[in-house]
Amino acid sequence: MTPIGSRLSASLNDEYLRMQNEWFFKWHHIGGEHAVEIDSFRGKPIVYGGIKFSGSARLVYWDTIQHYLQSKIGSIFDSLEEELTKYPLEIRAEALNEARSIVGQFAEKMRRAAIEKDRILRGDGIKFPPEDAGHWRGWHSGEIEAGLEALRRIYCDLKQDVGGVEVLQSLMRDKVSLVKKDGTVFRTNIPATVSSGQITTFAEDLPIEVEDHFLRELPNGLVDDYIVIDPGYHSGITGAIKPHYQVKVRRSDAPAALPQTIIANFHGANSRMNVNSTDNSVNVVSGISGEHLAGFISQVRASMSALPAEHQEAIAEPLAVLEAEAGSKAPSQSKIYSALLMIRRIVEGASGNLVASGITDLIRQMIR
């Protein structure tokens, strides 16, 4: 049991015994000569003496015990709320699950005690009438659950540390796209919360892997690019927290790219890269023929605008060498190889840029 649950259970057990030994017990003496003060739980005591437990006295009894339980459970929720802030998410959720049964059992015990005492007080010490639960309008299990659910939504329907701030599921207002590390767009418009170093989402079916990318479109039409460091899947807690991802990410060093930029695969025998252009790519396979080289150049030319400016300038010269060799009747394999290696070294410096990653993969297939 959690510390919160243990303290709550002990406290309510003591409270039940106190009510039995003090409040309920005093009602046996309202018929005596001396006046008896009974707590009304409203600040001013009830004072009875020399009267029978019936009529208005009985109505006051029922009204008072139900008011007590209503107020008591309200104060329990107040104390729970204060306690929850002192503990991590997992403890909070477990404590509220424990509180459901602890508070429910306490409320039911008080209800049963009130009904049984009413029956005894209406008797003559020897004979006792049947139980009468018709006066009970006190706290019901549904109301207890509603109160606990309110606390759960505030303190447990949050997905831990999102950039140093605990965020409610209802505040997942960012929309991101998951792009696999091979360039395949897996899904767009995924509800999430994006913060520095972390993306949180309840889309538990996402196949998130290290080096995948999350793209977030900005109001200006550009896109933030985040690279996955750790998928951070959390299985959740039954009845309290849904399974979710707390993905550790780092921002790409590249400038934001246009949303429609990445719509391609960069692996396999039919690898191709189609960036802001019609898919006229040529398959690139092992063996660097003039035709294959022309296809590679075409793809790079179509996509290089998404590279950082300094990388565009740096690959211009080796790309020109490749174009010259592609148009030659007798391409020089050594020149092609050297130019490809130079391009690869350049684009590898554009860490996190998807186009750079695609170019690197294509070159790797050509010269591996």
CB-count exposure of residue 164 (10 Å: 0-12, 13-18, 19+): exposed
Q: Are 201 and 306 in a shared domain?
A: no
What is the rounded average pLDDT of the residues 244-260?
A: 65
Q: Are 203 and 148 in a shared domain?
A: no
Which pLDDT does position 321 carry in this prediction? 86
Q: Are 76 and 220 in a shared domain?
A: no
196-214: pLDDT as tens digits = 788 888 888 899 999 899 8
Q: What is the mean pLDDT of the chain?
A: 79
120-145: pLDDT as tens digits = 999 888 888 888 877 776 666 777 88
What's this model's pTM, rounded to 2 decimal places?
0.46
Which pLDDT does position 352 carry in this prediction? 63
Q: Does residue 188 register a pLDDT over 70?
A: yes
Residues in the chain: 368
Higher model confidence: residue 222 or residue 144? 144
Does some domain include residue 259?
no
Q: Are 7 and 152 in a shared domain?
A: yes
Q: Are 216 and 244 in a shared domain?
A: yes
Q: Does residue 324 register a pLDDT over 80?
A: yes
Does some domain include residue 258?
no
SS3 call for 188: strand
Does some domain include residue 198?
yes
Give the Cα separation of 285 and 368 in Å (integer): 10
Q: Are 15 and 151 in a shared domain?
A: yes
Q: Are 326 and 240 in a shared domain?
A: no
In 3D space, the residue among 95, 142, 78 whose CA is nearest the CA of residue 239 turns out to be 95
Higher model confidence: residue 173 or residue 310? 310
Three-state secondary structure of 105-144: HHHHHHHHHHHHHHHHHCCCCCCCCCCCCCCCCCCCHHHH
SS3 content of the chain, % helix, strand, coil (to 5): 50, 15, 35
Does some domain include residue 357?
yes
Rounded to 5°, the CA angle 257-208-306 comes to: 15
Does some domain include residue 59?
yes
Which pLDDT does position 314 carry in this prediction? 86
Q: Does residue 261 register a pLDDT over 50?
A: no
Domain that holds residue 90: 3-156
Q: Does residue 240 register a pLDDT over 60?
A: no
270-308: pLDDT as tens digits = 444 443 443 433 333 334 777 778 888 888 888 788 888
Rounded to 5°, the CA angle 11-15-16 comes to: 120
Q: Are 192 and 57 in a shared domain?
A: no
Q: Are 211 and 146 in a shared domain?
A: no
Does some domain include residue 257?
no
Total domains present in the chain? 3
Q: How confident is the model at residue 15 (pLDDT cuts 50, 70, 90)?
A: very high
Q: Are 99 and 37 in a shared domain?
A: yes
Q: How confident is the model at residue 237 (pLDDT cuts 50, 70, 90)?
A: low
Listed residues 156, 185, 212: the one ending a domain:
156
Listed residues 251, 276, 297: the one ending a domain:
251
Q: Are 7 and 143 in a shared domain?
A: yes
Three-state secondary structure of 236-259: CECCCECCEEEEEEEECCCCCCCH
Which pLDDT does position 221 carry in this prediction? 66
Does some domain include residue 256?
no
**What's the CATH code of the domain at 205?**
2.40.10.10
Listed residues 107, 126, 156: the one ending a domain:
156
Task: Pick left, alpha or beta for residue 160 (phi over 0 → left; psi -120 to 50 → alpha; otherwise beta).
Answer: left
Does some domain include residue 274?
yes
Could you tell me the end-to-end alpha-carbon distance of the chain, in angstroms, rounded to an integer? Answer: 59
* CB proximity list for 96: less than 8 A, separation 6 or greater: 80, 84, 148, 151, 152, 155, 156, 240
Which pLDDT does position 157 carry in this prediction? 59
The least confident of 141-145, 250-254, 317-321 is 250-254
What is the rounded average pLDDT of the residues 89-108?
A: 89
Higher model confidence: residue 341 or residue 228? 228
Q: Are 137 and 242 in a shared domain?
A: no
Which pLDDT does position 336 carry in this prediction? 82
35-94: pLDDT as tens digits = 999 999 999 999 999 999 999 999 999 999 999 998 999 899 999 988 988 888 778 888
Q: How confident is the model at residue 216 (pLDDT cuts 50, 70, 90)?
A: confident
Residue identified by tokens 């049991």 is 1
DSSP state of 27: G
Percent of the chain surpassing pLDDT 90: 28
